Structure 1
């Protein structure tokens, strides 16, 4: 086998569709790799194919709600190809040269100085119950109030475990856990907790050892 095609779902919750995507890949003679929050990673799959003697790989990015991740696919492929120049890699029909922007930058050296970090669960149950809309509402409300990553860092995560409370959102360093966070409740978290400094009274109880 001298050529291979790899389907690469780009979104953070793409793992939710892993079984269906694997069926599509198998039906089309492709393999499957994940840009984030999934296995195998793009670099692991490229390593596997190179080990089989493949000399041309086409990576097909599947947006699935992650438009900004597409440029990262080229960066990751470029990072890999700098170490394996004997394998030709294509993204979107264009050759990856190895001269793409690196994975490191001076802007990403220091731990950010945000006052709060908000974790939005994007596990299977939370995703099924609307956490994509929750995340979008958080981002929109923060932008409307002029708050960026240096103020509040929003991070989408895998399963946070109290799945019956989906969608789940956690605010740190306050260790405040919220359940049933629809878009309206997300906006209230921004207004009352992140801006007003008063956590909502109906937070989820937090048991500690």
Structure 2
């Protein structure tokens, strides 16, 4: 249980954690905590830190949790918290960050045993490595709208990304982007490949693997899943 003047935030780290908001909210209620998201979800970490600081919190603890695959590293929690702390005008609370990510609801308790304060000198949000647009030949857009999510686009994304990794294709070959609704919702899960202007529907994990092997590697669209344009 948190003490007076302290606050705890459980932070969903992966895109899939946004889809499992209800589980995070239930876990947060048991720990008398709030919930924020690193990416694709609302509220953001910065927004919640501002809300809690404005409410008078003197210490805010952050515990990252990744119930889905392919979450960014734990260091991103420290980067974002430190950036917020440096930019904060007025009262700045102590920010503590768990040193490990929880990969299950049950691991949250363990993660909370080791909290370390930020110094404000952590690396920022920019880097020379992130200055330029990648030289990718194609961009794959994976719909994460409500219908596609309900029909399993998280597993679609996982299969596609793992397929690219196994094929040795990185961001400079194929840039994968999670999007909001791409509209042909009856065809969920929807994936589109640009600049080819090829749209796919009903992309389950098996179809995602075929998109990698046939379209992205062999330049042959998967006609059985292709949507008319």
Normalised to the residue count of structure 2, the TM-score between the two structures is: 0.81
Q: Which runs of 5+ in 2 are unaligned?
A: 99-114
Instruction: Give 1:10 shift.
Output: 1.2
Q: Which runs of 5+ in 1 are unaligned?
A: none
SS of residue in 1 equivalent to 2:43: coil
Instruction: Give 1:25 shift.
Output: 2.7
- 2:146 and 2:181 in contact (8 A); partners too: yes
Matches of 2:32 and 2:167, distance apart in 1: 48
Please name the residue that 2:157 is paired with: 135
Deviations 1:166-205 (A, max 9, x none): 2211101112110111222112212222122222224112
SS of residue in 1 equivalent to 2:72: helix
Change (3 A) 1:25 1:140: closer
Instruction: Give 1:37 shift.
Output: 0.9
Q: Which has the higher contact order (CA 8 A, sep 6+)?
A: 1
Change (3 A) 1:124 1:64: farther
Pairing 1:13–2:36 present: no
- Identify the match of residue 81 of structure 2 among 63, 77, 82: 77
Matches of 2:85 and 2:211, distance apart in 1: 43
- 1:166 and 1:179 in contact (8 A); partners too: yes
Q: What number of residue pairs does the alignment pair up? A: 206
RMSD (CA atoms) = 2.0
Normalised to the residue count of structure 1, the TM-score between the two structures is: 0.88
Pairing 1:204–2:208 present: no
